[in-house]
Amino acid sequence: MQKKITIQYLIGVGLALLTIPIVEGALSVLPNIGWHFLTVMYITVFTLQITFYYLTTNFKFGWTVLSFILNFILWTFEQVIIEKTFHDSIIYNGENGKLGVYILGGLLWVTNKILIDKLFSLNKSIHKQSSRINA
């Protein structure tokens, strides 16, 4: 179990950090992109999050989609709360602020997914037990 969780964290943080070279590459190809770099960043993050789910999920498709949507909502909410609270801190304004933000985002994403997966597994086991009791 620990090995699986560690692998998920490594994949999640690795994919989160992969966002940096992709966005920087887009900015070097299109230097006058302006605020549209946010579109590139969000599409990249969304695509990498789908990739993360593809690599780490073993639920049926419907449960996976529900997990992804819940995770995305939680992750966005957490990012807004953390950014609002720590906007002036070294995490966001330090020399390596971008790196810290992406790592934090990746850690939040993976943690949310692990917790949601645990809740789904608990729900599944409760449903199986209640089915056995009622049968």
| Domain regions of the chain by residue span | 2-122
Span 45-103, pLDDT tens digits: 889 999 998 898 888 888 889 999 999 899 889 888 887 777 777 766 766 777 878 88
Predicted local distance difference test score (pLDDT) of residue 84: 79
Tens of pLDDT, residue by residue over 91-104, are 667 667 778 788 88
| 129 contacts 23 by C-beta, under 8 angstroms | no
pTM of the model: 0.78
> What is the Cα–Cα distance from 103 to 108, expressed in whole angstroms?
9
Instruction: Name the pLDDT band for 135 (thresholds 50, 70, 90).
Output: low
Residue written as tokens 């770099």? Answer: 37
DSSP structure class, residue 95: T
> Could you give the CA distance from residue 18 to residue 39 in angstroms, rounded to a whole number?
16
